[in-house]
Amino acid sequence: MSNELQKPVIGFTCGDLNGIGIELIIKTLSDHRLLDFCIPVVFASNKCLNFYKKGLADYNFSYANTRELNRLNPKQVNVVNCWEEEVAITPGQLTDIGGKYALISLQQATKALKDGHIQGLVTAPIHKKNIQSAEFDFTGHTPYFKAFFGVNDVVMLMVAENMRVGLVTEHVPVTEIAQHITRENILSKLKIIHSSLQKDFGVDKPRIAVLGLNPHAGDEGLIGNEEETIIKPGIKDARHNNMMVFGPYSADAFFARGQFERFDAVLAMYHDQGLIPFKSLALGEGTNYTAGLPVIRTSPDHGTAFDIAGKGKADNSSFLAAAFECIEIIRKRFGYADMRRNPLKKISARLIANSVDERIEETE
């Protein structure tokens, strides 16, 4: 098999047209070293790309339009024109247009992912308000993909060099968090994280920590009883399913004392409990990965950044990390499935992995 055929096809959505999504795409795909590892396909419009390209003269961004996803140029950025009409772009403004075309990009890219035309997808940031419609009644990308692919559950898993943090609840009002903390939900999330660590991250025997819901993990029932009646039984259920799960830990001490470094992943009860320490302590650039899907989707760990949109100031580090994380997870998942489908193929899977590692080392 040639190196070109080994490269996965990675899709990129444009996100909100008035946010920093297209700027991130231009900056990321202007680094032609990425073409050594994947075949990029941008789902947007060349007119929108050219709008932002004019303000980024220092970046050598070139691309080829394509109408057929089975006839891609493996040595160039490919662009699928998801719409032909002129669209009013107003950087930094929250408009219905920005949300409408973000959804069109997302829908076409997701269909291509489901149909197998692309092997992974990197999503640029959307705004959760202006994208709402009859076709998108979700609080973000994660529940959208869960519904689209018809899976029972997924995990929003934040990934960095030194830590992985998953969430029981995602974009839920604080007043409603406790009602979503159930024994069944905790076990479901732990099963997904455990499986993902094995097949997507190459961890044979994962160690997973679980945080408490209340301050000081409830202080033995003195500050709330969810730890005693829900979380501890959920951990016990996980252990009965042959998982190494520990806790519940008090969130403040757990991160402040560096205990997270002893585990392959951490399950937090709610959004800020997990993401504040993640964004404060993570080494390198963070990536948002949707664990539990039959496909692979990553995104940067930030939003639309309307305050700097159109000014050429956007930092594409997290977006670039999301692209490479997508490629790496594809490689790990392929190797995991290949080795379990036929043990005699372990050698060929290892050779492919080594080939990718060598290309990474050559570009560093």
DSSP assignment string, 213-282: SSGGGGTTTTS-SHIIIIIHHHHHHHHHTT-EEEEEE-HHHHHHTTGGGGSSEEEESSHHHHHHHHHHH-
Is the distance from CB of 41 to CB of 14 less than 8 angstroms? no
Give the tens place of pLDDT for each residue, 17-32. 999 999 999 999 998 8
- For 1-151+293-364, which CATH class? alpha beta
> Which pTM does this prediction carry?
0.89
Q: Where exactly are the structural domains of the chain?
A: 1-151+293-364, 153-291
Q: Report percent pLDDT > 90 for the chain.
A: 84
Residue 350's pLDDT is: 52
Residue 19's pLDDT is: 97
Residue 220's pLDDT is: 85
Give the tens place of pLDDT for each residue, 100-145. 999 999 999 999 999 999 999 999 999 999 999 999 999 999 999 9
Q: What is the C-alpha separation between 316 and 121, in angstroms, rounded?
A: 16
Give the tens place of pLDDT for each residue, 72-92. 999 899 999 999 999 999 999
Chain-centroid distance, C-alpha 345: 29
Mean pLDDT, residues 301-314: 95
Same fold: 1-151+293-364 with 153-291: yes
Residue 233's pLDDT is: 97
Query: Locate tokens 């959804």: which residue?
Result: 103
Task: Look at residue 358 and tell me whether its pLDDT is greater than 80.
Answer: no
Across all residues in the chain, what is the average pLDDT?
92
pLDDT band at 41 (very low <50, low <70, confident <90, very high): very high
End-to-end CA distance of the chain: 25
Given the candidates 3.30.1300.10, 3.40.50.1100, 3.90.1570.10, 3.40.718.10, the CATH classification of the domain at 153-291 is: 3.40.718.10
